[in-house]
Structure 1
Amino acid sequence: MITIGIDPHKSSLTAVAIDASGHPIGQRRFAVNSGTFRQLTSWAEAWPQRRYAVEGANGLGRGIAQQLAAAGEHVHDVPATLSMRARLLTTGGGRKSDSADALSVAHVALYRHDLKVVTPEDQTTILRLLSERRDDLAHERARILNRLHALLRELIAGGAATGLSADKAAALLRTVRPATATQALRRDLARDLLADLRRIDQRLKDNETQTRDALAATGSTLTNIHGVGVVLAAKILGHVDDVTRFRTADHFASYTGTAPLDASSGDQVRHRLNTGGNRQLNAALHTIAVCQARDPGPGRVYYQRKLAEGKTPAEARRALKRRLSNVIYRRIRKDQQRAADNVA
């Protein structure tokens, strides 16, 4: 089996082929254009038994990785951190070049058997795109609200109360009677921001409608879990992708950053907080944990039991997040198994 490592860039990609022992047997650089895929596959035809490893298949390498996967090629996603470590461990002082990077990518794929397999984009990709778009809109809305709040503070004695909305801002602006040209300009700018705020609010509503339809198409039952709404379910499914790539619930918890890290040494056994993992999934689990710790139900019972054991609120909440990671993992696996049975 030949492994072809690919180091992608915006304007070019470099491919290096290695044999089963890790020795380079071919190398080529391709310009990124409409013919890149055809040129790459034509070059790779020299090795019928082959597989590809693409660095950052969800980033710069997404285009070529998806084209290869759609063509039925076996493609692995190699994180940039792994290829960097592989390059630093080679002889040569960790010198960096496109060919050296592509060789490191191939070596990682050769010796690591737990890499994510790239699959053609499906409904989970749609959910992730919608989720990311919602995050962008929410950040833009917060920026507009902050600026509008600042202008209203300068126009109205006492400013505006917290929890400002488009309707509340419009009502406040109707009371403004500018006495100077400067105040008149502030009012006009506030009206422009109000129009932007209404536009963003409408786009957020449209995004939620699209997300709800896309989530329904997956047949997911994640929203049956207390604290998981349409938005959080879409974010979780969009980032998890194919849950079968996680062998166990513990593997999944490590990916979500909810499993503590072993920091033992000698006879001392201890663990520390995991600040790695997928931070989007970690944030989603945190939101669910906060909801369940607040509202009556099994989650609150578990949270209170941890408090009774002497844990701080933050520690009890992290323990609940770890338990929720298992619940989410089992639920997604069950949903995907049911969908597979229905297709069969």
Structure 2
Amino acid sequence: MVIIGIDAHKRSHTAVIADAVGRQIAVKTIGTTSSDHLALLAWANKHDDQERLWAIEDCRHLSRRLERDLLAAGEQVVRVPPKLMSHVRDSARTFGKSDPIDALSIARAALREPDLPVARLDGIEREIRLLVDHREDLVAERTRIISRIRWHLHELDPAWTAPANLDRASAFTRIKSHLDDFSGIVADLAQRLLTHLRRLTEEIDELTAELSRRITVIAPALLAIVGCGPLTAAKILGETAGVTRFRSKDAYARHNGTAPLPVWSSNKARHRLSRTGNRQLNAALHRIALTQARCHPGARELLARRKAGGDGGMEALRILKRRLSDVVYRALINDQKTCAARTLTLAA
């Protein structure tokens, strides 16, 4: 088998064919359209028509079209984390950095690591993630607008107390009624921002309702977890990007940053909190853990038992998050099976 490493960029992709021991055979740089990818396949067939593996740097915003075209052509594709590629490049005997050097490092990393994530076509998870990311962008924009409105209101009348929540219909009505008593550029800007704030809130509410409808259908087991609401479930589903790509619950825990890291070199085994992994997933698990710490009897019992055994509050919470990672993993697996069974039933 030969390995074809791909260094992906916005306007070009550089491919390097490497043999089974990592020696460079050929190099080619192409564009990023589907016709360019077809030419890349023809070039690969011309140099070697035996079994091959495509290794692409894992930056899907740049390589998604390439992955889709290769998978449609029946090729095997794996994703190489950028950090792994950089470590291989630094360990090489050559110096410097270029697209061919990076592509060769990607191919060599795929040779060294046999269990890299296998690329798959995008599914419902990407749609959920796009909706979640768009909603979060709108929420961040709404927060900025609320801050600007508050400063304009303070400038117009420091004695007037604005509503605590400016994203509610009652607050819009009250603020607009107050601004009607003023004139000038500051009041005009505040009126414009208030109109924009109302539109943003309506769109955020629409996205929230759409996500809730989708998640209720495709992730019932995830929603059944105490403390996991529709938005948290949507975040987990989108960031996981297909639970079947993880070979075990432990691999999933390593991915979301809840697996502890070993930090010992003598006879006494010690571990510490991991700061690696997908921090968005970790934050979602943290929200579930905080909710369960307040209202779930099993979680409260676990925290109390760990604290009685000498663990601190954060250490006990870390252990709860690790347990929750396994629970979430099993729920995602069950939801995947349910969706697959539903698809088969509809197809029949």
Q: Would you call these one fold, judging by a TM-score over 0.5?
A: yes
1:56 and 2:58 correspond: yes
Whichever residue aligns with residue 168 of structure 1, its letter is A
Q: Deviations over 1:101-134 (max 9, x none)?
A: 0001111112212211111111111111111111
SS where residue 35 of structure 1 aligns? helix
The 2-side partners of 1:261 and 1:298 are apart by 25
Query: Which deviates more from structure 2 when the two are superposed, residues 216-225 or residues 136-145?
Result: 216-225
- Corresponding residue for residue 301 of structure 1: 301
Q: Is the 8 A contact 1:83 1:101 kept in 2?
A: yes
1:171 to 170, 174, 190: 174
- Corresponding residue for residue 99 of structure 1: 100
SS where residue 27 of structure 1 aligns? strand
The 2-side partners of 1:50 and 1:101 are apart by 19
Q: Deviations over 1:59-94 (max 9, x none)?
A: 32222112212332211111111111110001013x
Q: TM-score, normalised by structure 2?
A: 0.91
- Corresponding residue for residue 148 of structure 1: 149
SS where residue 163 of structure 1 aligns? coil
The 2-side partners of 1:147 and 1:3 are apart by 54
Q: TM-score, normalised by structure 1?
A: 0.92
SS where residue 76 of structure 1 aligns? strand
The 2-side partners of 1:297 and 1:164 are apart by 36
The 1-side partners of 2:317 and 2:155 are apart by 41
Deviation at 1:341, TM superposition (A): 4.8
- Corresponding residue for residue 23 of structure 2: 23
Q: Which consecutive aligned stretches of 4+ in structure 1 deviate over 6 angstroms post-superposition? A: none
For residues 122-201 of structure 1, what are the structure 2 equivalents within 5 Å?
122-156=123-157, 157-166=159-168, 167-176=170-179, 184-201=184-201
Query: Which deviates more from structure 2 when the two are superposed, residues 216-225 or residues 34-43?
Result: 216-225
- Corresponding residue for residue 227 of structure 2: 227
Q: Mark the runs of 5 or more structure 1 residues left unpaired by the alignment.
A: none
Deviation at 1:257, TM superposition (A): 0.6
Q: How many residues align?
A: 340
Change (3 A) 1:5 1:217: farther
Structural RMSD (CA): 2.1
Query: Which deviates more from structure 2 when the two are superposed, residues 119-128 or residues 160-169?
Result: 160-169
Deviation at 1:246, TM superposition (A): 2.0
Q: Is the 8 A contact 1:292 1:300 kept in 2?
A: yes
- Corresponding residue for residue 324 of structure 2: 324
Q: Deviations over 1:235-278 (max 9, x none)?
A: 11111122232222222111111111111022343222211100
- Corresponding residue for residue 121 of structure 1: 122
Aligned-pair identity (%): 39
The 2-side partners of 1:206 and 1:70 are apart by 35
